[in-house]
Structures are given as C-alpha cells and as structure tokens.
Amino acid sequence: MREVKELTMENDDDGRLRRAIELTLLAPAARRAQLDALCAAAAEHRFHGVCVNPVHVTHCRRLLGHGGPRLVTVVGFPLGENRSEVKSREAMLALEDGADELDMVMALGDAREGRWDRVQQDIAAVVAVCGRAPVKVILETCLLDNAEKRRACQVARDAGAKFVKTSTGFASGGATVADVALMREVVGDALGVKASGGIRSRAFALQLLAAGASRLGTSSGIALLSC
C-alpha cells in the first residue's frame, strides 16, 4: 500500500523523468563500487535503465537481475571508427553477457565524407545480430551540420535501428534542444530519440523531453528528481 501511495503522489514530471532516464557510467576508469552504486540507484529510483561499458555488462546483469532497470551498453564507443565486423561481434558478446539494449556509434568518418551507403551498412550489420534488442545509433551531433543530422536519422531508420541518439558525451558537445527537435521531426513516431551528454539540470532535462526526447542518458539522474 505504501508503494502505491508513493506512486500516486509522485510528481508527473518525476514520473516522466524516471521512465526516460538511463543512468550512465561510461568513464574508462570506473570502479566496481561505482557500478554497484549505479545499479542500486537505478533500481531504487525506478529509472528505465543503466548504461555501462561492455566490460561491465556481466557484473551489472548480476546486480540488476531481470524485470527491473534495463541494461544498456555501447558498441564502437566512443569514436565509431571500428570495422563493421568488429562492431557486430562486440554487439553479439554484449548480448551474450546479458545486455538488453545497445547504443552504437555510427561510422562518423563515412558520414562526414557523404558515404551514406557505408553508414547504413554499418548500422544494419549490428541490427542484424541483435534480434529484438533495440539498437540506438549515436550520431555525435556536435560534429555534424543539420543536413548531415537529418540524413543520419534517415539512414538509421532505414537500417532498422530503433532509436537515434545525440551524443557520446566524449566529444566537444552534448545534447541540445534544437538537435532533439530536429531528430524528432525527421523520425516522427517511427523511432525513439535519446538525448545524452551534458544533461545535469532538471529544467534542461524537461526541455529535452518537451522537444521530443524519449530517453535521457545522464550520470545526474538522481539530481534531476524533485524528491
């Protein structure tokens, strides 16, 4: 009864944030205690999921169990400049280790050169090994002009991805309201849009959701809640 009462009294914005947040820890030197705290926080606050590097998937799967927060990991991270065969194999191993969802960095060099057929093939190669596991394609929007962002969204959709995502958080910029709105305009209701990179305030997170984001990748998830 207490849980039902707490859910009923929950702020509507808090509910939207909880359902959208993927609590993220992708630092290369992350320690086991930090991962333990990440998974515990995601479960306690009922976030959508956690996002960790592939080497930590097995450990986090044990911590999260099943039926709670989703376990998300990354592919070709953070540069995207791996061969497609490597990305596909990395995706397969992550799924075998227990990942539920995969965030892959697209082939950024090919995108900047206008080789969109190669970008699409790269994404499709990962999608092909993932079955029902959703693939989110990281565009690294700070490195693209608006025409390239639009084309990248179209290519991700045509390759079978389920989401487009703004950023790795490791480049020169992160999510912006304008980029999220552009991505949502292009994909419509066909794909999800994940905003990530630099989401540290509640006000900004809510602006991103209002612009069309359906997921938020952030290491500041708890701070975004009012309680």
Catalytic-labelled residue, pool 100, 103, 110, 122: 103
When pLDDT is cut at 50, 70 and 90, the band that residue 227 belongs to is low
Tally of domains in the chain: 1
Catalytic-labelled residue, pool 87, 110, 165, 179: 165
Residue 226 in domain:
no
Residues 6+ apart with CB under 8 A from 141: 149, 166, 167, 173, 175, 176, 179, 183
Predicted confidence (pLDDT) per residue in 66-123, tens digit: 999 999 999 999 999 999 999 999 999 999 999 999 999 999 999 999 999 999 999 9
The residue-averaged pLDDT of 203-218 equals: 98
Residue 94 in domain:
yes
Which uninterrupted H or E stretch holds 111?
helix 108-112
Residue 225 in domain:
no
pLDDT recorded at residue 11? 81
pTM: 0.94
CATH of the domain at 187: 3.20.20.70
Backbone Cα Rg of the chain: 17
Residue 227 in domain:
no
Note if 97 is an active site residue: no
When pLDDT is cut at 50, 70 and 90, the band that residue 10 belongs to is low
Residue 224 in domain:
no
Residue 178 in domain:
yes
pLDDT over 90, % of the chain: 94
Catalytic-labelled residue, pool 87, 136, 149, 194: 194
DSSP class of 162: S
Note if 149 is an active site residue: no
pLDDT recorded at residue 177? 98
Note if 194 is an active site residue: yes
The residue-averaged pLDDT of 172-187 equals: 98
Residue 172 in domain:
yes
State the residue range of the domain holding 158.
Answer: 2-219
